[in-house]
Amino acid sequence: PLVWTGFHVISPVAIPLNVFIAPLMLVALTSGLGMILFGWFPPVGAVLGWVCGAMLWFIDLLVDGGERLPGGHFWAPAPPAAWMFGFYLLGIAVAW
């Protein structure tokens, strides 16, 4: 609802796509942090940088593929702001 309200785009493909992207993002973030900590040692920094770059490239590939799927996203007029706040308040209440 937040993206829908701000950008007038609904992308149902994002829900299943995040299942595949989440582990790749974990590897990218971990290797990026490892590069920050151990990048001063050239072989380790090079390997960690390559892993981070490869994961980000693959994530970009998946997002581009999801964007091209028919029905993966569509334009829609934004709902009223009260509906969006109600949606998130309801989600918080259910989670609590």
Whether residue 79 contacts residue 85, with contact meaning beta carbons closer than 8 Å, is answered with: no
Instruction: Compute the average pLDDT of residues 87-95.
Output: 95
Q: What is the pTM of this model?
A: 0.77
Q: Round to the nearest angstrom and report the end-to-end CA distance of the chain.
A: 20
Instruction: Compute the average pLDDT of residues 34-55.
Output: 92
Whether residue 84 contacts residue 1, with contact meaning beta carbons closer than 8 Å, is answered with: yes
Instruction: Compute the average pLDDT of residues 11-36.
Output: 94
Query: Residue 43 and residue 35: Cα distance in Å, rounded?
Result: 10
How high does pLDDT run on average in the chain?
Answer: 92
Instruction: Compute the average pLDDT of residues 13-41.
Output: 93
CA 89 to chain CA mean position, Å:
23
